[in-house]
Amino acid sequence: MTDFPTQLAFDDAIAIIREVAAKHRVDTETLPLSRAHGRILAADVVAPIALPPFDNSAMDGFALRHADLGEGETALHLVDEQFAGRARDITVGEGECVRITTGAPMPTGADTVVIKENTREDAGRVVILARPSAAGANLRRAGEDVQAGECVLQAGQRLTPARASLAASLGVPSLTVFRRPTVAVFSSGDELVEPGLSLAPGEIYDSNRELLMGLLRAEGLEPTAWPRLPDDPRQVEIALRDAGCAFDLIVTCGAVSAGEKDHIPAVLQQFGQVHFWKVRMKPGMPVLFGSLDQARVLALPGNPVSVFATFLGFGRTLIDALQGRSEARDAERAQLVAPIEKSHARREFQRARVFCDEHGVLRADPNPAVGSHRLRAVGESNALIVVPDGPQRLAAGSVVEILRYV
Ligand code: AMP
Ligand code: MG
């Protein structure tokens, strides 16, 4: 097995992931709008119509001509009614008004809507109690939101509920999106036991599988968990090669360091490719990124907190790049509640509880638990603080990058 003596800088590892994934982007498909939620758009969406499509009332009330209103109260003849969804060809003449509901097309001649609450009805006449200061009150103009032909959504954006509703409002029935990458999840280690079975001496329960399944589902994927990999090179090879020809992405945890039982790097070197192995980060240093057959492989170290740091650090980038997401996720920052010091060069990921204080400031309270096996500290936290490369003395109040996971 070729060793990788030099640890890669974190940012260089990210660049490699983006570059490799861009060459192996999943293909696209056209889906009905209702099935495209959460997907990444593969094509721009151009508005086929204007929004609103026609001038209409923003309120329930009476459509009238502003010029007909005097300083005080004005009585107008009620000549007709116009309801939403029943467009009729109605004209408002001098001294007249038309009863109108929200969303109903404006009658010809009317330029203003007075809300019902500012009127009084009196034997076929409507008394307007207060005059709006200018014509155009309570009116929504055709095209004031979107003009026909405008590009409203861009390829590379994620289809959020708000964006789906925008497409729907334009009458777009289906969208071209990237397919969801298929993902196989592996835990590895002879010591691992399924929850529900009893533990023999030296065994522990497999906790990373649930962690990874949850983190992947939170990305909108539908991961498939494979049976645990034993620490046996031949079995690791067979299982990974099987998955390599069937999935877009393989995420493993454990068996990726330098121990006698860490067989994943050798299998990838022999049967696939290793794009990088070992990154200057803490925890998570032995993380490996490779390819095997048609799959990209993200091999994470086994310590539960390392799984967190490497998944949040690299897994999200890989998933985004595989499905063509070009819109950057919002970088989040918070103020440290307590100081952080480190003397090593690696980028460090520390568990923290992030909360918004009474002044509206996002604050990060580092969890003092040391050790990448401390899962309870992960459970009590909701984010990782990213402590930059190189020695750092960050005073309380310093602004740091955070990766939230709830
Ligand atoms: P490894 O990377 O295989 O050397 O594992 C590092 C540490 O993480 C060991 O203490 C393992 O027992 C532990 N570990 C590995 N995989 C899991 C898992 N799926 N669930 C819980 N702990 C694990
Ligand atoms: Mg192991």
88 or 40, which is more confident: 40
Assign domain 332-404 to a CATH class: mainly beta
- Is 10-26+180-322 assigned to CATH 1.20.1250.20? no
Domains 56-140 and 332-404 share a fold: no
User: In the chain, what are the domain boundaries?
Assistant: 10-26+180-322, 30-51+144-178, 56-140, 332-404
* Distance from the alpha carbon of residue 206 to the mean position of ligand 2, in angstroms: 11
Is 144:21 a contact under the CB 8 Å cutoff? Answer: no
Distance CA 205, CA 194 (A): 6
pLDDT band at 4 (very low <50, low <70, confident <90, very high): confident
Token couple for 383:
């984010």
Tell me: the pLDDT tens digits for 326-373? 999 999 999 999 999 999 999 999 999 999 999 999 999 998 777 767
Choosing from 185, 186, 192, 378 the residue with most ligand 1 atoms within 8 A of its CB, the one to mutate for a pocket test is: 192
Complete DSSP assignment for 73-125: -EEEEEEEEE-TT-----B--TTEEEEE-TTPBPPBT--EEEEGGGEEEETTE
Is 366:385 a contact under the CB 8 Å cutoff? Answer: yes
pLDDT band at 266 (very low <50, low <70, confident <90, very high): very high
Q: Which ligand is nearest to the CA of 185?
A: 1
> At CB < 8 A and 24+ separation, what contacts does 3-9 make?
4/274, 4/276, 4/277, 4/278, 6/278, 7/278, 7/279, 7/280, 7/285, 7/346, 8/276, 8/278, 8/279, 8/280, 9/279, 9/280, 9/389
Ligand 1 pocket, 269 CB below 6 A?
no
* Distance from the alpha carbon of residue 292 to the mean position of ligand 1, in angstroms: 23
End-to-end CA distance of the chain: 39
Q: Which residues sit with Cβ closer than 5 angstroms to ligand 2, an ion?
A: 189, 254-255
Confidence at residue 189, expressed as pLDDT on a 0 to 100 scale:
97
Token couple for 310:
């490497």
Instruction: Write the burial class of residue 334 (CB in 10 Å: 0-12 exposed, 13-18 middle, 19+ buried).
Output: buried
Mean pLDDT over all residues of the chain?
A: 96
* Distance from the alpha carbon of residue 361 to the mean position of ligand 1, in angstroms: 37
Confidence at residue 368, expressed as pLDDT on a 0 to 100 scale:
79
Residue 406 has pLDDT above 80, yes or no: no
Q: Which ligand is nearest to the CA of 231?
A: 2
What's the mean pLDDT in 100-117? 98
* Distance from the alpha carbon of residue 188 to the mean position of ligand 1, in angstroms: 8
Ligand 1 pocket, 378 CB below 6 A?
no
CATH topology (fold) of 56-140? Molybdopterin biosynthesis moeA protein; domain 3 (2.170.190)
At the fourth CATH level, the homologous superfamily of domain 30-51+144-178 is Molybdopterin biosynthesis moea protein, domain 2 (3.90.105.10)
In percent, how much of the chain has pLDDT > 70?
99
Q: Which ligand is nearest to the CA of 285?
A: 1
* Backbone φ/ψ region at 149: left (φ over 0), alpha (ψ -120 to 50), beta: left
| Distance from chain centroid for Cα 89 | 46
Choosing from 186, 188, 199, 204 the residue with most ligand 1 atoms within 8 A of its CB, the one to mutate for a pocket test is: 204
Ligand 1 pocket, 254 CB below 6 A?
yes
Confidence at residue 372, expressed as pLDDT on a 0 to 100 scale:
63
Choosing from 185, 194, 208 the residue with most ligand 1 atoms within 8 A of its CB, the one to mutate for a pocket test is: 208
Q: pTM for this structure?
A: 0.93
Amino acid in the structure at residue 4? F
199 DSSP assignment: P
Ligand 1 pocket, 258 CB below 6 A?
no
Helix (H, G, I), strand (E, B) or coil at 29: strand
What's the mean pLDDT in 156-175? 98
Q: Which ligand is nearest to the CA of 208?
A: 1
